[in-house]
Amino acid sequence: MTRPVIELTGVTKTYGAGETAVHALAGVDLVVEPGDYVAIMGVSGSGKSTLMNIVGCLDVGTSGQYLLDGIDVRRVAESRLAVVRNRKLGFVFQSFNLVARTSALRNVELPLAYAGVSRGERRERAAAALTRVGLADRLEHEPAELSGGQQQRVALARAIVTRPSLLLADEPTGALDSHSTAEVLAQFDELAVEGRTVLVITHEHDVARHAKRVVRMADGMIVADERQAPLDAPPPLLSARAVPA
């Protein structure tokens, strides 16, 4: 049996205390196996970002257990956590979070620099990641010289250049027009086809439609968890009729 990438058991998160306490997560159980492509949906305030922050080791739950690739992250020292994040996780945010006045190539090299990869290999891998997202001709461009869709593709290249166990994206298309959204979603689809594990937070049905599995949250709880047919599969009735008699 393969080990899950994510295993959350009874995870809660409470902000504040007493009368004003906010129960952002009210007991979440979630298992994600390698190669799954999961969309987390839910209205604003349902706890999606809180969940992503915990899964991404940017925050810890108030109670419950989280295993990332089998590692109990609560037992990992703060100093080691940055290493775990760097090795195992790739992040994509709504607001791109690129380093300003720094070339696309340098931006994508950064996580490799933290990982201690040599300069030559860093450049080679960063250029390959940018080529993969269709930006081979934009290596020396700075974020301000790129469109929103291109900036998000740089962010995606930065997220995958370390070959993480898990790609996490919080509303990755929230700031993009429909054309750029389609470009970024095509990249996620390709990663999923390659068997990467992808967790995308979104409130857009069109985005969630690309995932293999949709998890719905409400009031800090998972209220639905369903597999869906691949996007390019023909409707069942049509395919039934296409079978020769």
Residue with smaller CB distance to ligand ADP, 48 or 216:
48
44 near ligand ADP, judged by CB under 6 A: yes
Which amino acid makes up residue 174?
G
Q: How far apart are CB 136 and ligand ADP at their closest, in Å?
A: 34
- Token pair for 86: 């760097």
* Eight-class DSSP state of 228: -
Give dist(CA 155, CA 180) in Å, integer: 13
Residue with smaller CB distance to Mg ion, 36 or 171:
171
Q: Convert residues 46-85 into a mask of x (bound to ligand ADP by CB under 6 A) and - (unbound).
A: xxxxx-----------------------------------
* Eight-class DSSP state of 218: E
49 near Mg ion, judged by CB under 5 A: yes
Is the CB of residue 232 less than 8 Å from the CB of residue 239? no
Residue with smaller CB distance to ligand ADP, 124 or 219:
219
Rg, the chain, Cα only: 19
Is the CB of residue 170 less than 8 Å from the CB of residue 92? yes
- Considering only residues 12 through 31, tell me which ones interact with ligand ADP, judged by CB under 6 A: 15, 22, 24
Q: How far apart are CB 6 and ligand ADP at their closest, in Å?
A: 17
Helix (H), strand (E) at residue 226: strand 221-227
Which residues contact ligand ADP by CB under 6 A? 15, 22, 24, 42, 44-50
* Residues within the interface to Mg ion (CB under 5 A): 48-49
